[in-house]
Amino acid sequence: MPTAQSQSFPVSVVKNFTEITKMRLSVSVVFSSIAGYLLGTDSINFFTLFILGVGGYCMVGASNVFNQIIEKDRDALMDRTKDRPIPAGRMGVTSAFILACLLTLIGIAILYIINPMTALFGAISIFMYVSMYTPLKTKTPLAVFVGAFPGAIPFMLGWVAATNDFGIEPGTLFMIQFFWQFPHFWAIGWFLFDDYKKGGFFMLPNGKRDKGTAIQIVLYCIWTVLASLIPAVGVTGSLYLTPFSAVLIAVIGIWLIYYAVRLFKLRTEKAAKQLMLVSVSYITLLQLIYVLDKFIR
């Protein structure tokens, strides 16, 4: 019979893997890529869809592992991150580095099978996240601006995977998710301000939880919603949104802006956390509406 130790070993390996690759975040990114693929394809190739998901998870997971290697000492200082595998001592830096390299190579190879352009954008995403965004987080609030580039790639990556082309359509998907990054991460930076401060991270645009930061959050929410409605005007090529779906996007956009204005008025951690949750709901609902609009009309 297997011992308790032999039973717990594979469980701990899986737990460490899901934690260090940030499974929930990685799955949400893969969801964005799949939504982009469905918007770009004329006929669904389920094999391509599957390997896009696997390759996408590998790339995002690799970025997260490299990030946690670089920030291991700072992670140990923050309540939110001190129990991650490396600072908690459940995984060594060497093991994590080998895992990150393997995930990178596997991810790029899998995305290359789809087409070279998809692999290129995946590689750019990892490079910008690890080599630019991560180091800048302790230097300047502009890190969020730099991080918005790799963060916005997944939605458009799916379209590129479907078409092997980059044009106005994936550019529009990129723009939507680019603008969305700012209120989302500034809301996180707001309610985790004290914890981030322990690790020496600068996440808010002016370094303070004040009206200046809050008004920028409101503005970026407005720009996100306006960018989301551009396909309804008919100027984004084959990426088109029907009037009915545009109304739905406008409704959830008002919902997003409402919570941004609420944060501006209250300036509390609770209001920031609510905005963060609403922002996640907004981008998920938006992608669902876009996909359903294409296949139902």
CB 245 within 8 A of CB 289: yes
Average pLDDT over residues 140-146: 93
pLDDT digits (tens, 9 = 90+) for 254-273: 999 999 999 999 999 999 99
CB 109 within 8 A of CB 123: no
pLDDT at 12: 84
Give the phi and the psi of residue 114 in degrees, each rounded to 5: -65, -60
CB 70 within 8 A of CB 134: yes
Which distant-in-sequence residues (6+ apart) come within 8 Å of 193 by Cβ? Answer: 203, 204, 209, 269
If pLDDT is split at 50, 70 and 90, which confidence band does 9 have?
low
- Does the pLDDT of residue 7 top 90, yes or no? no
- Does the pLDDT of residue 239 top 80, yes or no? yes
pLDDT at 105: 97
How many residues does this entry show for the chain? 297
Query: How many Cβ atoms are within 10 Å of 240's Cβ, its own excluded?
Result: 18
Among 221, 216, 251, CA closest to 142: 216
Average pLDDT over residues 25-45: 95
If pLDDT is split at 50, 70 and 90, which confidence band does 1 have?
very low
* Residue 257: strand, helix, or coil: helix
CATH superfamily of 11-165: UbiA prenyltransferase (1.10.357.140)
Q: Which amino acid is at 38?
A: L
User: In the chain, where are the structural domains located?
Assistant: 11-165, 167-297
- Write 99-102 long-range contacts (CB < 8 A, 24+): 99/17, 99/20, 99/65, 100/62, 100/65, 100/66, 100/69, 101/62
